[in-house]
Amino acid sequence: MQWPRARALAIAGGLLLSGAGLHLVAAYEPEHLEKGLFFGFFWAATIVQGTLAVLLLRITRLASAVGFGVNAFLVILWTATRLVPLPGEAAPEPVDVLGVATKVVEIASLPVLLSLVRILPGVPRPGPPRTRPSVRVPPKPF
């Protein structure tokens, strides 16, 4: 699906900022405050997603590609930590409403961010080739 550029920028920026805000809230949950590593991770996710939302306006293609990678990584990491315990933990992390909401926002951002990454110049685009319209030249009289 292709969105108009301004709408895609607004949606992608809003979703990145939403993800950043949700990670900030997660950083201050009591169990994350007790473990400095978790607190730092959530703050790092907040800073990265917030920065990418701002950078979308200046370097759209790069910020979109990096944002896609970051959000995909965060979704995969969250899923893995719900299936396998972290080192030093007895059980996998629990599934909670805040975590699910964060992943919904990040998954929703993926197609929008991908739509902002353009095909590289020189790479053939899908579809029929673009040709110049033929111009009919009237025949010359004898």
Looking at the 3D structure of the chain, how many domains does it have? 1
In this structure, is residue 52 part of a structural domain?
A: yes
What are the tens digits of pLDDT across the range 82-137? 999 988 888 998 899 999 999 999 999 999 999 898 754 554 555 566 666 667 77
Domain around 72: 5-115
Query: Which residues, 6 or more positions from 16, have their beta carbon under 8 angstroms from its beta carbon?
Result: 49, 50, 52, 53, 56, 67, 71, 109
Chain-centroid distance, C-alpha 46? 13
In this structure, is residue 18 part of a structural domain?
A: yes
In this structure, is residue 130 part of a structural domain?
A: no
Q: What is the mean pLDDT of the chain?
A: 86
In this structure, is residue 139 part of a structural domain?
A: no
Tell me, yes or no, if the pTM score tops 0.85. Answer: no
In this structure, is residue 132 part of a structural domain?
A: no
In this structure, is residue 84 part of a structural domain?
A: yes
- Closest alpha carbon to 112 in 42, 47, 60, 59: 60
In this structure, is residue 86 part of a structural domain?
A: yes
